[in-house]
Structure 1
Amino acid sequence: MLSARSCMTKQIRSFASLRDKAIKIDPKYLRQPEIKDHRKYPEYPQISVILQGYDYAPLELFQSYVHRISGRFKFNVVESYAVPGKRERIVLYKPNSSVIDKEYLLTLYQRIIRIENIPSVKLQLFAQILRTHIPIGVDITIKDFTKEDDNCRYIPDLLLKEKQDELKMLDDPIIRKNLGWE
């Protein structure tokens, strides 16, 4: 009986398993090649994200949020700055009269974030995320960067403008003659 059992075990062991039957493949060919995405999307050269609001604190917090989100999207934030506040006077009149009932002074604060090289595919998602998380009382505008956006951040020096106009007037031949210079 012992010999019959050993004979059976030899037969069982002599059957090839599926692993033994499979073709041996070199491990370096088992990995799939990396597929590169060669698609090119048009990019916006520079955009301005303009935030406006009457309340200073939520505006500042949302500006930092926009900065963080643009970092997560791997956008290049060129600069982020505040524009001087614009004061507005609001007058409420009594019904059916010209008598002033209440008067308010409000300041409109504005923050501008300039971002460079944004793929057009990601801009839509970026804008949607900003619109979803915008706090109450804050307005957002996303547009192409223009030079006027940059010029609005400087406060004009009225005295300097006045002196420049005065110098230009001195170039006028009639004024030079009246002054006795010619």
Structure 2
Amino acid sequence: MLPVRSQAFIRQTLSVCRFTGCWQFQHSGSDVLKQSTARHYRSQPTHGIGRYRHLLPPEKDPKKKGKLATKEIKPKSDCEYGFVNLQVSGYNMTLVEHFTQYIHNFCNRFSIKVEESYANPTKTTEVMLLPEHGNKMFVDSVLTFHERVIQVSGLSSTFSPILIEVLLMNQPEGVNLLVKEHTEADYQSRFKSRPDLENLMASIN
């Protein structure tokens, strides 16, 4: 027979062992449950399927605009022109812009290839007025001259008279229309001249 103290110690030890084993079993069971319900993908079962962005080359930053490359002037043939510029100009920007859109839509409708459409730098003219009594002139008004250019290619010599006639019939009042072949000078006119910078570069070189 064991003493009373020894029996009490054995009972306490057995109860502690049972509690520890039960807690370990519950803890391991909860871990298995978490592992079985955890997703190895991010958000959806189909995550990552059909990705193609990583296969494409990196896109250029749209804020970093490089200098436009000079395009070769397409030579004309016997039956069609090369590059033709349709220049629309006037003092009313709304009329100039709407007539430019009309020409662009007309070219798209009749399968005339539009290479590009751009705006030339706006020109400003100050009207000076000399009063009757006085020698100092002051600014009476400021006129802004707007110009838009639509460059087309592959215009046939048989369709060009029809195109010009239709455009002249729908030309708004106060808007000028000029049809001419594209030249290198037309390309350079798109950029504002910087005489100070050009002189500085010439002196450095």
TM bin, normalised by shorter chain, reads: 0.5 to 0.7
Q: Note if 1:114 corresponds to 2:145.
A: no
Q: CA deviation at 1:157?
A: 3.2
What is the 5 A alignment of 1:1-182?
42-93=79-130, 103-168=140-205
Cα-to-partner distance string for 1:44-88 (whole Å, 9 max, x where unaligned): 111000011001111111111000011122111000000111111
Q: Distance between the aligned counterparts of 2:100 and 2:108, measured in 1? A: 13
Q: Secondary structure at the match of 2:193?
A: coil
Q: Distance between the aligned counterparts of 2:169 and 2:140, measured in 1? A: 34
What RMSD, in angstroms, separates the aligned Cα atoms of the two structures?
2.4
Query: Higher RCO, 1 or 2 (CA under 8 Å, sep at least 6)?
Result: 1
Residues 1:98 and 1:119: Cα distance change in structure 2 (over 3 Å): farther
Unaligned regions of 5+ residues in structure 1, if any? Answer: 1-39, 169-182
Structure with the higher strand share, 1 or 2 = 1
Q: Secondary structure at the match of 1:134?
A: coil
Q: Distance between the aligned counterparts of 1:45 and 1:78, measured in 2? A: 11
Q: Distance between the aligned counterparts of 2:99 and 2:178, measured in 1? A: 13
Q: Which residue of 2 is the match for residue 25 of structure 1?
A: none
Query: Larger radius of gyration, structure 1 or 2?
Result: 2
Q: Secondary structure at the match of 1:107?
A: strand
Question: 1:122 is aligned with what amino acid?
Answer: F
Number of residue pairs matched?
Answer: 129
Q: Secondary structure at the match of 1:44?
A: coil
Q: Distance between the aligned counterparts of 1:72 and 1:126, measured in 2? A: 12
Cα-to-partner distance string for 1:12-58 (whole Å, 9 max, x where unaligned): xxxxxxxxxxxxxxxxxxxxxxxxxxxx9710111000011001111
Aligned 8 A contact 2:126 2:139 in 1 = no
Q: Distance between the aligned counterparts of 1:135 and 1:108, measured in 2? A: 16
Give aligned-pair identity as a percent: 25
Q: Secondary structure at the match of 1:140?
A: strand
Unaligned regions of 5+ residues in structure 2, if any? Answer: 1-76
Question: 1:154 is aligned with what amino acid?
Answer: F
